[in-house]
Each structure stands twice: as structure tokens, then as C-alpha cells.
Amino acid sequence: MREFLTPDRFANEIRQQRSTFNGSFLLLEGSTDKVFYERFTNCDECKLRVVSGKPSSKKIVIRVLEILDEDNFQGALGIVDADFDRCLSPLLDRSPNLILTDTHDLETLIIQSPALDKLLLEFGSEEKISNLDRDLRTILLQCSLSIGYLRWLSQLDELNLTFEGIEFKKFINEKTLKLNEIDLIRTVQNKSQCFTIKCEVIQQKIRDLTREDLDPWQVCCGHDLIEVLSLGLQKAIGSYDTKEVKRDVLERSLRLAYEAAYFLDTQIYISVREWENSNPGYIVWRIDLK
């Protein structure tokens, strides 16, 4: 099946297509990325390719580019989520044909934009939002920061913790949108069936990471921010039923609310334009996207 293709086979597919297509190839991690970037892409000059698989679609995109770079293949570019890469010091070396999202991932990039404000006009309660003691983006970041650091700790210490499917209401107050860190750790431990490290030890490790004073937009995962937003829209800033504001519903709505004008201000847009200038004859973005 296609989802289990190896990096070598993905690279071979692109090499083979070069015989019939002289334009650019834009490699992406997932189908939702393709839906997002397709709006800004000159599809006559650039083919979008979703490079997915295990253990990580991002790692496969990177490896495919490495293979093509080694062959001096021209016209292939990849865009992947930054994840925690900018939290590392020094930054990891990467191919000149690989571009990272401005923030942790595509979802955080969208939430940082006015698309969130447009979504709140549709879903949020103006009265409840006006009664908040802080900006909503600040609340979402503060509530998701411990989750982000726990995700990063899981990677750094190879804890293999499971976050998919955890119930956020087990550790976040639906009325105040405040997170209980101990409840978070216990929820993730129970989901992962990982009890080899004491909860208090994990909490201290999180504290050690927070001393780095990193940009929350690089630490927080967009899916977590949207899960918190979903909880908020049920009580704290809205009154919707859970099914009406599920994560996938909100993610789709945010993508639809995202305008081309917002994209022009991103480093992704600028970096791809610079790549086009450095690779004459290869075009990615629409010419009218200026």
C-alpha cells in the first residue's frame, strides 16, 4: 500500500515523473497540508506530493530530500512542521530544500493569524469572550504549554508516551480553562500504561525544560490548542455541544477562515519565494500571490 512506501521508493517515483514533468515538486507530510498549501500553489508548475508513512512522515520527507539532494536532483522542495526543532540548540542542520513552519506546526500558524478571530465571530459568545481576564490566544497557549513540554520530554527521554485520544476535560477546567499539571501527567501515564517514572519526577523534568524560557508558539502543539478551544466553546467562551465543536470541525473551519493575505506575512511564503529565486525555472507559489 502507498502509505508504507519507503523513502527510496518515494524518491524513485519523483525521479520517474521528471521525464514527463519539468516543474517543481512540493513534498508535504499529510493530506490536510496538501489541502492548505494547494490554495497558494501554481498547480501547472508544481506538483504537490504527500509523503507519508512510519515512523514519521516528517522523517520520510527529510530522507526523500536527502536522497534527491545526493543525486543532485533539481526542483524538489519540502515543507514540514517545525515541531520542537527551534527549541534545540544548536538547530539541526537541514537541506536547503527543506522549509519549516514558522511556528510549531501548521495549526499553530493558523491560530496565530486573524483566522481565529473570524472563527470566534461564528462560534464564540461575545459576552463570555469580553469577560475573559486575558487574551484568548494567551489563555490557549498557557493552557497547552505543559502538554507541549510533556510531549517534548517524551521525545527527549524516549518515554514513548501516548497523547492521541486523551480526554482534555480530565485535566482542564471547562469553565476557567486552567490546567492541572498533575492530572495531565496521570492522564497521559494511564493512556500510555507507563508508570516506571513517578509523576513528581516527570513534573520536575517539565520544570527544568520551562527554565529555557522558549517561545510558546514553538512549544505548543496546534492540535492541543484546538482541543482546549473546543472545551472553551462548550462552556467558557461558548455554549456548543461537544460534537458541534470537535477538533476536526474547528480545524476545518480555521483553514477555511485563513486568507491569502495572512499567508503573505509568513516566513514560509518568503522562504519559498527565496527558494524560487535560487532555483531559476522552478515555481511553487501562484504568480498572482503577491
Model confidence pLDDT, tens digit, residues 48-66: 999 987 778 999 999 999 9
Q: What is the pLDDT of residue 94?
A: 86
Mean pLDDT of the chain: 94
Percent of the chain with pLDDT over 70: 98
Q: Residue 5 and residue 11: Cα distance in Å, rounded?
A: 10
pTM of the predicted protein model: 0.94
Give per-residue pLDDT as tens, 260-279.
999 999 999 999 999 999 99
C-alpha 62/C-alpha 24 separation (Å) is 17
Q: Which residue has the higher pLDDT, 212 or 103?
A: 103
The pLDDT of 173-200, averaged and rounded, is 94
pLDDT at 161 over 60: yes
Residue 290's pLDDT band, with cuts at 50, 70 and 90, is confident
Rounded to 5 degrees, what angle do the CA atoms 15, 5, 9 make?
A: 25
Does the pLDDT at position 1 exceed 80? Answer: no
Helix axes 222-234 and 247-257, enclosed angle (nearest 10):
110
pLDDT band of residue 286 (cuts 50, 70, 90) is: very high
